[in-house]
Structure 1
Amino acid sequence: MLTQLDNFYLQKEEPVKGCLLALREIILKQDKDISAAWKYGMPFFCYKGKMFCYLWVHKKLHQPYIGIVEGKRFDHPNLIIEKRSRMKIMLFEADQDLPIEAIQAILKQAIDLYKTGVIKIR
């Protein structure tokens, strides 16, 4: 039986589907304490149970992106805030190679917020 989380990826068209699946893989490989979850109708990733980041497709641009929950707490040239108060996003061209080093750098910065105690983990 497929979960809502499985269906999220399966219902996407290529190349967006492949891009999202690759991003999921990159996120999960960053740290053993990152887990996948289905929250608010979207694929979320938690760090030790605390919401960390999520995947989505931009409504206007139709580009996949990673949303960093605590993105406002640090700066990276690849992150944009748009009209959000807390989160920042990193957009991707689904038909191009992913900037893996930039993704890893952003995820590491975000994880460090949790590891250093800036974000409290219950």
Structure 2
Amino acid sequence: MNPIQEYFYRIDEPERSTLLFLRKMILESDPDHITETFSFGLPFFKYKKKMLCYLYYSKKYKRHYISFYHGDRIHYPELIQDGRKKFKILLIDMDKDLPVSFIMNIIDDIKQYI
């Protein structure tokens, strides 16, 4: 297994399936320009080889989240800055439907700053 597969393998269900679906949606949203790397022990998504977002787990909120680079430049009340300088996070509620179109809108907004 490669490190990205190992990262997801260590996550319990149903969170694993939700995050794998989110991963697939991000990668398929722009397959010519969005790539995935493994940095700092996390799956990172890059747009034209520059940082776009990553997935992680918040011990503080006890939830998985997607963190957006250049989040400081976009304004969505659903995003949390929480002391970060360049990033904002979107907490993922595993008990609700994944807001895929909302996430894709955020990614499209961030692309203009890359």
1:30 matched to which residue of 2? 29
Is 2:100 aligned against 1:100? yes
Distance 2:111 2:28 in 1: 12
CA separation of 1:29 and 1:78: change in aligned 2, threshold 3 A: farther
| Matched residue type, 2:19 | L
Alignment of 1:1-122 (within 5 A): 2-31=1-30, 32-114=32-114
Write out the 4+ residue segments of structure 1 that deviate beyond 3 Å after TM superposition: none
Q: Supply the RMSD in Å over aligned alpha carbons.
A: 1.1
**Matched-pair identity in %:** 35
Q: Is the 8 A contact 1:81 1:89 kept in 2?
A: yes
| Structure with a larger share of its residues in strand | 2
TM-score between both structures, scaled by the size of structure 2: 0.92
| Matched residue type, 2:55 | L
1:120 matched to which residue of 2? none
Distance 1:85 1:22 in 2: 28
The DSSP-based 3-state class of the residue aligned with 1:101 is: helix
Shift of 1:62: 2.2
Q: Is the 8 A contact 2:22 2:100 kept in 1?
A: no
Distance 1:95 1:4 in 2: 27
Structure 2 unaligned runs (5+)? none
Shift of 1:4: 1.1
Query: What is the number of residues matched between the two proteins?
Result: 113
Distance 1:29 1:76 in 2: 23
Q: Is the 8 A contact 1:81 1:87 kept in 2?
A: yes
Distance 2:18 2:78 in 1: 17
Shift of 1:8: 0.4
